[in-house]
Amino acid sequence: MRLPVNVGRTDRALRITLGLVTFPFGFFILRGWPGVVVSLTSLQMVAEGIAGFCPAYWLAGVRSVEGEEAVRRPVALGASRSATGT
């Protein structure tokens, strides 16, 4: 299954940076459910930044990709095999 790249370079860098900064806050400082929520949200931000795909952007039809990056190949999830097995 292929997902479109809908997160631009600046957006990706911000997601990764904010995710890495807020994860320790949620994991070590906050206790209970708030800490779990902040930690999981932080990990999701890092994953979206690495993959270049945001499900919320996709549902809303938003893209922060511009220029040549917009025509980049989509991100492949899992093994990319065609119906012929190649």
Query: Residue 29 corresponds to which amino acid?
Result: I
Query: Residue 51 corresponds to which amino acid?
Result: A
pTM to 2 decimal places? 0.72
- Find the mean pLDDT for residues 4-26: 94
Domain boundaries, the chain: 2-76
Q: What is the pLDDT of residue 81?
A: 47
How distant is the alpha carbon of residue 58 from its chain centre? 11
Residue 54: burial class (beta carbons within 10 Å; 0-12, 13-18, 19+) = buried
Ranges of H-type helices in 1-86: 9-24, 33-51, 55-60
- How close are the terminal C-alpha atoms of the chain, in Å? 15
Residue 2 has pLDDT above 60, yes or no: yes
Q: What is the pLDDT of residues 37-73, one digit of tens each?
A: 999 999 999 999 999 999 999 899 888 987 655 555 5
